[in-house]
Amino acid sequence: MVLLYYGHCLVRLRSDFTEAVKALTAAHRAFEQRGDGVGLFSTLAEWVTLCALRREPSEGLRIAEEALVAASQAPLTHAVLLAGMALCLSGIEHFDDAEAAISAARVRLDGDTTAAARAVRGEIGLIAAVIARDRGDLRAANAAAQQALAEVQDDAGYGLEAWVRYVLGALAWRQGSFVEASAQLDTARQLAEKQGHRGLWCWVVAIQGHLLRDIGELTAAREAYRLAEYWGEEDYAPVLLFVREGQLAEARWGCQALASIAAQRDAPIIAADAQLLLALIDLRTGAPTYAFEHADAACSYYAQHGYNFRFASALLYRSAAAIMLEAYADADADLAQALRILAAEDAYNCEWWLPDIIETLLVRAVQYKIEPAYARRMLNQRFLNALPPLATLGLNRPSTAQHSIELEIARQAQLALLPLAPPLIPHLDMAALSLPAEIVGGDFYGYYPTEIEHNQMRFGVALGDISGKGLPAALLTSGTILAVASAAVDNPAPNVLLKRVQSAVQLLTARSQQTVALCYLTCERQGEGWHVSASNAGSIAPLIRRSNGCTEWLNAFGLPLGVALMAEPGCVGTTLERGDVLVLVSDGVIEAMDLERELFGFEGFEESVRYAPVAQGARAVVAHLLNSVQAHTTSAFQHDDLTIVVVLVP
């Protein structure tokens, strides 16, 4: 029994599988010699769990099937065998059979209130949570893990609490509940340190690395992986970090390594993950056709084998590829299905988090009312909720005394690059306003070519939004303004201009991982009206209010510039007649929040445009929109830059 217990501890408290094999082999031999059936079957039960953890599920199932019938008279041992069998079944993707084995294991313990039975119930709950997690049923996994915690929390002798808290932390990370994840993982790490369980400690620190990666702390994430000397349970983790860091050649090599691992282990799930990661790389390199094909292959596998969370995550990136291909109906269908799955699991994260793409998709979902309630919550949770409580921020802008001289210099340089006034164009009225949240901001606008003649009947208008705030955003903003001005010298079509700007800013954003949202449109005199052509890269689409008061969105949509190379951008057009007005805004207008964190939103923006005083001119429309935003936010702190551009045909 000493050898059996030692083997048990080596498996659960040390993850030392080599020494565990020696101890369990010796225990098995001793029980055989003594004819001790209970001890023998208990040893086999440990072997089954060991096989599952060593990724040898087929061997574990063989042992379990041989031992189950003979062990049926020992309920506790029988339950442990069934639980280990469930873990092995999960390893070969037989999730329904695994859940049936878990149910059978629980039945075997009915009425047993001993400490040993409680520990086994805790282990069964832990395995149930892992199985549900693997197939993407996050709510069910969390419920099972919470039940397991109730069984093992006060019983340190079996060493299961650390494992349960590790699983709870990993689940909270997947669901985007990062505060809860940090708390559970910190407790798990402390328990692992107390128990001297180096293996579990490494697993916990690796998950903390995932969390840091998903909130954008890439340097800290890499340090966590270095400390753990481990990438975690997710074989794809190093490849995803390369993608997040913009090291796409290394990421592609990593996908090849994943494919080799999948072949060696006969693990098609790893091959599917490699396909999805290739899709991310293709999105980053401006190859949407390949991205769609790779994401589609991954989606098919995840859907067929019941990997719900992975399936939803892959749908998001298939949607992004479809948008780049201008297959908007397919993109919106994928986006809707993904958001429904994530909403059902109360998840505000996805398996492979690329924030620039996800934010763009969520904005589209809110704008086009694709599962808008959940999309709005996710946008708030992941992109806005990291702000401090608005009521504590004060009502005034930070004073220059709180900022460096460099910021003031940047402010002066940025102001010098913005137009002092709109150009005077016959039969057209224009106005604009930009209010930075900091002394310097990331928003800009402009009219192009910069030297517009009074009688020029074709010109361009740009509105851009740089990710981030403060000096880094200001520097990239200045560089982007110059890039747009240079690209617009010959008055090109909007899609041509975006390609030129992408080539220029790629050098500026490669290291910083910043992005540039940019909407560019050209206006050309056509009869009594103006023909408008527009291309959009991650910005808010233009909104048009017709002379009859009806509003419509110009269907210009695309992913931001910067981190990814751009596929051939689309270009859409419309005509502005007398009394029509076109409005461009940055996302700071849409995402303006009141003290309760309610967004001004697309609905508020549309309503404000619908009732704008068009007859009073473009400047009155800008003032009306600004007043509407400020009436919504009341005394709340302005957390993002606000920019408004109005083009009106009088």
User: Is pLDDT at 164 greater than 60 in this prediction?
Assistant: yes
Alpha carbons 355 and 217: distance in angstroms, whole number = 12
pLDDT in tens, 451-490: 665 556 889 999 999 886 666 777 788 888 889 999 999 9
What percent of the chain stands above pLDDT 90? 48
Mean per-residue pLDDT, 79-83: 86
Map 148-196 to HEC letters: HHHHHCCCHHHCCHHHHHHHHHHHHHHHCCHHHHHHHHHHHHHHHHHHC
β-partners of residue 283 are: none
| CA dist., res. 85 & res. 91, Å (int) | 10
pLDDT value for 3? 36
Q: Which residues are within 8 A (CB) of 453 and not within 5 positions of it... i.e. 6 or more apart?
A: none
- Confidence tier at 16 by pLDDT (50, 70, 90): low
Confidence of residue 389 (pLDDT cuts 50, 70, 90): very low
Alpha carbon 431 to its chain's center:
36
Alpha-carbon gap, residue 197 to 13, rounded angstroms: 6
Beta strands 516-526 and 529-537 are antiparallel
Distance CA 564, CA 246 (A): 8
* CB neighbourhood size of 486 (10 A): 13
CA atoms within 13 A on the CB side of 106: 16
Alpha helices in 345-401 (DSSP H): 355-367, 372-379
- What does the pLDDT average to over 533-552? 94
Q: Is the pLDDT of residue 422 over 70?
A: yes
Q: Report the helix count and the strand count for the chain, using DSSP H and E.
A: 26, 10
Strand, coil or helix: 598: coil
For the record, the structure tokens of 270 come out as 């790893």
As a whole number of angstroms, the distance between CA 49 and CA 53 comes to: 6
Rounded CA-CA distance 557/155 in Å is 56
* C-beta separation of 86 from 101 below 8 A: yes
Instruction: Say which residues have a Cβ less than 8 Å from residue 496's Cβ, sequence separation at least 6.
Output: none
Provide the whole-model pTM: 0.82
**Distance of alpha carbon 329 from alpha carbon 334, whole angstroms:** 9
Q: What is the pLDDT of residues 501-514, one digit of tens each?
A: 988 888 777 666 78
Residue 180, pLDDT score: 94
Strand order from edge to edge, sheet including 429-435 = 429-435, 642-648, 581-585, 543-545, 551-553
Helix (H) or strand (E) holding 99: helix 95-108
Instruction: Output the CA–CA distances (angstroms, integers) from residue 579 to 2, 145, 431, 575, 641, in the order listed.
Output: 89, 61, 15, 12, 29
Amino acid at site 46: E
Summarised one tens digit per residue, pLDDT across range 216-272 is 899 999 999 999 988 988 899 999 999 998 899 999 999 999 999 999 988 899 999
* Stretch (H or E) spanning 116: helix 115-134
Whether 225 contacts 244, CB under 8 Å: no
What does the pLDDT read at residue 406? 57
Which domains are delineated in the chain? 2-159 (1.25.40.10), 163-233 (no CATH), 237-381 (1.25.40), 416-648 (3.60.40.10)
pLDDT band at 38 (very low <50, low <70, confident <90, very high): low
Beta-ladder partners of 448: 460
**How is residue 576 written in tokens?**
């502005």
